[in-house]
Amino acid sequence: MCDTSASCYSSLYKSINFSTQLNSSKREELLSIFWEEFEESRNQSKIPTVLFATTIIIFLGMILFGAFGSSLVIYVVLRKRSMRTRGNLFILNLAISDLTLCLITQPFNLLRLLTGNRNWALGLFMCKFSAMFQGTNIFVSTISITAIAIDRFQCIIYPTANRGSNTTAIKVNYITWITAFILASPLVYFSRITEMNHLQCTEKADNPTTQKFKLFYSLAALIIQYMTPLVIVTIVYYRICLSIRDRKERAIQKFASHKLFELIMIHRMINMNP
């Protein structure tokens, strides 16, 4: 039917799945045949055992290292009252998000890696939960990083201005999680378990209307998750760099004027002596 190239299988799958000339039963039959040949092709070109084992070890190492680092940050901030500043509370929120990512979200990704994203055995609820919680983690992380950047901007650019209390930072963290859950909630609808020769937890749009909504949601998530935080963080840190550079130049000029004043005073004292 097809060679081992991914483009061939991708084109074939799209032609079967989105064909308007096939009824439902015929489409299911052709897709079943497609998945059988696709599985046979994958089995013939399996990843070498050593490479696969190395990938798993690296993945586990990243989970353990990330969980340890995030736990350490949480412990330090919560243990010492002096560390519970407004900026550190935003960092604490980011650490909590990273910890839940390592302990909850990444094990699901590890399961997909071990099974090749086939033979999903955790049921529909866990399929939807894993997708939504992963989206929530990403939203919380990007919003927290943006909040940290804005807090540093206020601290450096406007050091004497009122930056709010720790209670305000805690409220912002709560709002961040609630907003992230709301923004990630459409993933519950899109996440399905397909049964084409194997059980697979994936995002799927069943009809043209749903496909349009999924495309709109993907574009909106791209703007909210990546583009907007990237623009804000870039502008904020650029302003911080300019401010630090200006302060450094003023400090150098002030130091030079002090040295000049000292030289003038020394010169006058020497001339005043008989």
Give the separation between CA 153 and CA 81, rounded to whole angstroms: 23
Residue 61: both structure tokens together: 């190492």
Length reported for the chain: 274
pLDDT classification of 12: cutoffs 50, 70, 90? very low
**pLDDT, position 93:** 93
Helix/strand/coil for 195: strand
Q: Report the predicted TM-score, pTM, of the whole model to 2 decimal places.
A: 0.70
Tell me the average pLDDT of the chain. Answer: 76
Name, in order, each residue with C-beta under 8 angstroms of 45's C-beta and a sequence gap of 6 or more. 4
Q: What would you report as the CA-atom Rg of the chain, rounded to the nearest whole angstrom?
A: 28
**pLDDT tens digits for range 185-224:** 988 888 887 776 677 787 777 777 888 888 899 899 999 8
**pLDDT, position 184:** 92
CB atoms within 10 A of CB 191: 20
**pLDDT, position 227:** 92
Structure-model confidence comparison of residues 24 and 139, the more confident one: 139
Kindly state the average pLDDT of the residues 14-25.
47
Q: Which long-range contacts (CB under 8 A, 24 or more apart) does 198-203 make?
A: 198/35, 198/39, 198/118, 198/119, 199/118, 199/119, 199/120, 199/121, 200/117, 200/118, 200/120, 201/112, 201/117, 201/120, 201/122, 201/127, 201/130, 201/131, 202/117, 203/131
Domains of the chain: 47-254 (1.20.1070.10)
Structure-model confidence comparison of residues 228 and 21, the more confident one: 228
**pLDDT tens digits for range 66-105:** 899 999 999 998 888 888 888 889 999 999 999 998 888 8
Q: Which of 189, 202, 186, 183 is nearest to 112 (CA)?
A: 202
How many CA atoms, within 13 angstroms, populate the side-chain half-sphere of residue 271?
6
